[in-house]
Amino acid sequence: MYFIIACSIIALAIIGERLWQLQKSRVIPQHLVAQVWHWERKNQLDGERIKAMRKSSPLGRVLAAGLINRNASRDVMKESIEETGRHVVHDLERYLTTLGTIAAITPLLGLLGTVVGMMDVFHELALHQGGSVRNLSTGISQALITTAAGLVVAIPSLVFYRFFRGRVDELVVYMEQEAIKLVEVMHSKQLAAQEKQG
């Protein structure tokens, strides 16, 4: 039971932390690409703004990686975005493996507790040359508590694990779309400038 209680505390902490960190408004601030384009048009996109954007959100980190290389080729810009994107995805998935592990092991811990409890019940029965049905049923019901506790922890943990996996996938797709928009906007501007010079 102690291990199951510890797992439940850890699972609750992870669920609370991930619910806070994976809010769409925190990961993907609205109109960030439009803001970047506005700064670029007015020649206000300097190092300080890019640095502030990198610290502001996961999407900001991805876009900042591309903006640092905005004067390089399209492939270099995309590669820097993809590399930073991998780190951002890793951060978004933080603690999810632990939550999945808790969902998997708590029923097993509960079953182990029940088996050990049943062994104790039958050991007591053997020592006391049998016993009443009431004592036997009381011992078995107490032994089954750990299985129930394991399931009570595992079911919500598994539900939230699946929910957070889906949320991360959704956020990653949206960040990819925003990054592609940024690359297209920046390189269309470069092409327009080259045509004017040509």
Check residue 19 and give its pLDDT.
95
Choose between 137 and 129: higher pLDDT.
137
User: Per-residue confidence at 127, pLDDT binned at 50, 70, 90?
Assistant: confident
Average pLDDT over all residues of the chain: 88
- Please tell me the predicted confidence (pLDDT) of residue 192: 56
Using the predicted structure, report yes or no on whether residue 195 has a pLDDT greater than 70. Answer: no
Q: Residue 39's pLDDT band (boundaries 50, 70, 90)?
A: confident
Instruction: State the pLDDT confidence band at 10, using cuts at 50, 70 and 90.
Output: very high
CA distances from 97 to 14, 102, 137, 172 (A): 10, 9, 38, 18
Q: What share of the chain in percent tops pLDDT 70? A: 92
d(CA 53, CA 32): 9
More confident residue, 141 or 83: 83
Tokens of 166: 């889906």
137: nearest Cα among 160, 123, 121: 121
Q: Flag whether pLDDT at 131 surpasses 60.
A: yes
At residue 141, does pLDDT exceed 70? yes
Distances from the Cα of 29 to the Cαs of 15, 33, 68, 151, 192, in angstroms? 22, 9, 20, 38, 29
pLDDT digits (tens, 9 = 90+) for 55-93: 999 999 999 998 888 877 888 888 999 999 999 999 999
Residue 184, pLDDT above cutoff 90 = no
| pLDDT at 198 > cutoff 70 | no
Predicted confidence (pLDDT) at residue 194 exceeds the cutoff of 60: no
